[in-house]
Amino acid sequence: MERLFVNVTVDNLAPCKKLVRVEVEAEKVNETFDSVVREFRREARLPGFRPGKAPVEMVLRQFGKEIEDETKRKLINESYKQAIEEQKLDVVGQPDVEEIEFSRGQPLKFVATVETAPEFELPEYKGIPVKRVALTVTEEDVDRAIEALRQPKTDFKKVQRPLQTGDIAVVNYHGTCEGKPITELAPTAQGLTQKHGFWVEIGAGKFIPGFDEQLLGAQAGEKRTVTVDFPADFVTPQLAGRKGVYEVEVVEVREKVLPPIDEDFAKAYGAESLEKLREGVRRDLENELKYKQEREVRNQVITSLLNRVNFELPESAVARETRNVVYDLVQENARRGVSRQAIEQHKDRIYSAATQSAKERVKIQFLLQKIAEKEDIKVSQDEILGRAMRLAAMYQIPPQKFIKDLQQRNGLIEIYDQIMNEKVLELLEKNAVIEEVPPGTELPPG
């Protein structure tokens, strides 16, 4: 890059914030200004002149403001980049540029407030002591997994007998609270007010607490009055702590019939035989256990690293990550059925938790990045492309379109960071001192 400026000074405002003063020499200002004028002249369409033939004075009168703005933009961008490189500043985020002095024939001056990566000494990251629970996949584990595979194949057989624990009651119901339809107290809770053909599993407690057990012994065609106490932490806050009354009609009684565990059952899951099914289930359980143990070890390593060093964090990085964490928390609560009103009521608590989580995420990111630099860990273009192709296949999006979308939102940088973090964590795990502990042992926080 050609040298553009004559002076750069850097002042420390805070541990991760600096003030960069840049001055570009007048000669370079004039040179860039003339270059921009020529660009505008080539493209200008003015009455009576072909493109590129209009007098310079006329181009300046017509596009003077735009030419000045483009000149400033070019000079600031180029000189800022050079200033950062020469001062060896590891900038995080975008600069805040202000106090711009610009005039043709005069030096360009501006001030950029930037946040930089924290400076700190790496703690010892090899030989971190961690604990791993000594677990193996047993035949009982395989049996439980096979039993879980039976559930999706359940047949719900209609029977003519009283409801028993484990049965499905198909019901019509209408609910009131304090003598009023529930929707008068909670307008959005229409599903809690009235439903037809609603399935309730007796003894599962998956609906309103106490609802299903009051239907025990009822038969198809029978009507019952069911009273419930809405819990204090009920998902619909307008009903929390109140009493509800439901008029319930049992339409059908259905018995859950699980399929036998035989060769046909195995083939329904694509296995050649029951023995092959068990082998596949065992393999899946072993992979799941390995992943869980790796995650626990890595979490302990991360927690240990976080506790071994303290340093200031860039405010913008923490704020950006806090927004990401808040978004994830709100989305998770929404998936769990938590209402928007309930989320709003706890927004301060959500934000506080998100800020703490964001600080830890940002801190560990800087730690992993510094370890990667020290260990000279690299991520190749082929690795990034391979990960992108696998993600495209998983989301069933044409690879070229997926990669183009990633480029537009800087998603390839995210993939780079993911792969880099995985490599560093793999190194930390490989070099950790792992103590095998018996099942039931409480692991260190992580």
Looking at residue 212, the DSSP 8-state letter turns out to be: G
Whether residue 136 is predicted with pLDDT greater than 60 in this model: the reply is: yes
Closest CA to 368 of 430, 418, 297, 325: 418
Q: What's the confidence (pLDDT) of residue 302?
A: 96
Q: Do 223 and 85 belong to one domain?
A: no
Q: Are residues 205 and 303 in the same domain?
A: no
Same structural domain for residues 181 and 227?
yes
Task: Decide if pLDDT at 1 tops 80.
Answer: no
Contact 153, 259 (CB under 8 A): yes
| CATH code for position 227 | 3.10.50.40
Which CA distances in Å does 283 have to 134, 138, 144, 290, 439? 17, 11, 14, 11, 21
Q: Are 325 and 358 spatial neighbours (Cβ–Cβ below 8 Å)?
A: yes
Six token digits for residue 137: 């996949």
Q: Domain of 428: which CATH number? A: 1.10.3120
Q: Is residue 135 part of a domain?
A: no
- The predicted-structure confidence for 36-52, as pLDDT tens digits, reads as follows 999 998 888 888 888 77
Q: Token digits for 361?
A: 């995420």
d(CA 28, CA 66): 19
Whether residue 380 lies inside any domain: the answer is yes
Question: Who's near 149: CB < 8 A, 6+ residues apart?
Answer: 269, 281
366 within domain boundaries: yes
So what's the pLDDT on residue 341?
Answer: 78
Residues linked to residue 413 through DSSP beta bridges, in sequence order: none
Instruction: Determine, yes or no, domain membership for 138.
Output: no
CB 359 within 8 A of CB 313: yes
Question: Looking at the structure, do residues 103 and 9 belong to the same domain, yes or no?
Answer: yes
26 close to 105: Cβ distance less than 8 angstroms: yes
Domain residues for 239?
Answer: 155-257
Query: Is there a single domain that holds both residue 50 and residue 186?
Result: no
Say whether both 23 and 47 belong to one domain. yes
Q: What pLDDT, on a 0 to 100 scale, did the predictor assign at position 342?
A: 75
Note the pLDDT tens digit of each residue in 8-36.
999 999 999 999 999 999 999 999 999 99
The conformation of residue 74, written as its DSSP 8-state character, comes to H
Q: Where are the alpha helices (DSSP H) in 178-314?
A: 182-185, 190-193, 263-268, 274-308
132, 299, 315, 323, 445 from 305: Cα distances, Å: 17, 10, 21, 24, 12
Of residues 443 and 210, more confidently modeled: 210
CATH number of residue 29's parent domain: 3.30.70.1050
Same domain, 204 and 174: yes
Q: What is the pLDDT of residue 34?
A: 94
Residue 318 covered by a domain: no
- For 151-188, what is each residue's pLDDT tens digit? 999 999 999 999 999 999 999 999 999 899 999 999 98
Spatial contact of 3 and 74, defined as CB atoms under 8 Å apart: no
Same domain, 276 and 386: yes
Does 278 lie in the same domain as 248? Answer: no
Chain segment 291-350, per-residue pLDDT in tens: 999 999 999 999 999 999 999 999 999 999 999 999 888 888 778 777 777 778 888 888
Question: Has residue 123 been placed in a domain?
Answer: no
| Counted domains in the chain | 3
Average pLDDT over every residue of 349-364: 92
Q: In whole angstroms, what is the distance from residue 88 CA to residue 119 CA? A: 13
Average pLDDT, the chain: 92
Q: Output the CA torsion 382→386→387→388 (10° steps).
A: 100
Q: Is 10 domain-assigned?
A: yes
Asked whether residue 437 carries a pLDDT value surpassing 60, the answer given is yes
- What is the rounded CA–CA span in Å between residue 55 and residue 62? 11
Average of per-residue pLDDT across 101-124? 95
Per-residue pLDDT, 446 = 66
CA nearest to 330, candidates 346, 342, 318, 343: 343
Per residue, the 3-state secondary structure of 152-204, as one string, reads HHCEEEEECCCCCCCCEEEEEEEEEECCEEHHHHCCCCHHHHEEEEEEEECCC
Is residue 126 within 8 A of residue 375, CB to CB? The reply is no
Give the residue carrying structure tokens 């692991």.
443
Domain assignment present for residue 325? The answer is no
pLDDT at 3: 61
Q: Which of 222, 240, 257 is the C-terminal boundary of a domain?
A: 257
| Model pLDDT, residue 2 | 57
Using a pLDDT cut of 70, give the percent of the chain over it.
98
Residue 323, C-beta contacts closer than 8 angstroms, at least 6 positions apart? none
129 pLDDT exceeds 90? yes
Confidence of residue 127 (pLDDT cuts 50, 70, 90): very high
Q: Which helix (H) or strand (E) holds 116?
A: strand 108-116
**Looking at residues 63-81, what average pLDDT do you find?**
94
On whether both 292 and 236 belong to a single domain, the answer is no
For residues 169 and 210, membership in a common domain is answered with yes
**Residue in the structure block whose two tokens are 């037809």:** 196
Is-contact 291 302, C-beta < 8 A?
no
How far does Cα 40 stand from its chain's mean position? 45
Considering the domain architecture, whether residues 75 and 10 belong to the same structural domain is answered as yes
What does the pLDDT average to over 254-265? 95
* pLDDT tens digits along 368-425: 999 999 999 999 999 999 999 999 999 999 999 999 999 888 889 999 999 999 999 9
Of 56, 88, 116, the residue at which a domain comes to its end is: 116
- Read off the pTM: 0.73
